[in-house]
Structure 1
Amino acid sequence: MAKPAFQIVETEDLFEYPIGADDRLDSHFFLAWRFHDWLTSDFRLLADLEVRAIGFDLFNLAQTQNPVGTLPTDERLLARLVGVPLDQWRALCERPVGPLYNWKKCLCDDDRVRLYHPKVLQTVQGALGLRDDKLAKREDDRARKRIENLPAQMMRAGASAMMAKDEATLFAFDEFLVEHFPKKMRRPAFLRRALEAFQLRAEGLEWRAATGL
């Protein structure tokens, strides 16, 4: 029997998969699907309907794996993932275009050899970037809101208007609070002691024992 085409691509020097085993996409519950790439892909145009369905499942299943976007190389695990008996999986892989079309071996950062697909990797990298952008924006919004609220909070805690309006002091005090008391509510009683501690630290004095914070 002729060796089937379009199976796993073997490479001597394995591609180093750029997403780590510790990278998580906890909110990765949807795909930014490039439908035009899918509709015009060689795989979709050449594979039969059964293989096409299994291949599409693999694209989605890879999003749940570790590292995200990869698949195991063990054919038994692959058959289990797509829910078919091992002999059926092997028969699918023997077709001219099998479900592992364009999946390649890669080396993960934990030294495991797994499979990756360039298009799946592109999707995951986009999701990671989107998540990072959203987290950065959220943190920027939180920081901006903290700084906007801080002058009034400081004055309620007994700070002078001059101190509360000094931009350098505001940013330094906010950084002090975030560094040492990230979970503390900024209520007047707490802020009074925090202001004292902040001033003691600025003077190079031990502030924890003096303020009880």
Structure 2
Amino acid sequence: MPWYTGKEKVREYLEKVNKNGKVIEYTLFQPGLSLDYLATPYQTAKHVAPLDSVIDYQNRRAIVVDGHEDAIMTLTTAADLAAIVARAVDHEGEWPKIGGIRGNRLTFSRIIEIGRPFTIERVKLEDLEAGHLKTSWTLDKRHKAVSEDQVASFATMVSIGILLSSVKGAWDASDGLSQLFPDYKFAEIEDFLTKVWDGEAIIAMLCYVTI
């Protein structure tokens, strides 16, 4: 996922600094994909703008890699991420290097079983690796950081990036940081999606989270 290049450079720098012994204590916050994106087009977190993903609950459709329907996804709400980060800042003990935050851990196939039936489009792994997304639909919403002339190419890049990285296990976040706060209760995906989609816009506004 090339849009994470900057994060990788920071990670490499920190590893270099601590190469001969710990100089800086740090943790890499890894919450998986924002669960709030499955509420698109409704906004369920103040600072998370609605964006499309390869799992489109509004239109009950999804893109999956053929033969990899059981690829693992970690999905965490922005509210839960903010709460764990706040606790981590105040934590007096040592941080784990990998700050895994696991709100929900489940397979692609399980995600699309929740609620009404989905229309599934399966893509071939070899096509994705070649940079081709052979689907009848793509991501529509534009991130504010993406210019109008880059929308189509960026949508394809994001879709391919999410799908390829899921096959490689990149979205299967650990729970190293979550374990430091065993009393914290994460939002469960079934409850979250029920609140958003059973009443759709009305319920989505009622469950709006201010963070």
Q: Which TM-score tier does this pair reach, normalised by the shorter chain?
A: under 0.3
TM-score, normalised relative to structure 1: 0.20
What is the TM-score normalised by the length of structure 2?
0.20
More helix by share: 1
Which structure exhibits the higher relative contact order, with contacts defined as CA atoms closer than 8 Å and separated by 6 or more residues?
2
Structure having the larger proportion of residues in strand: 2
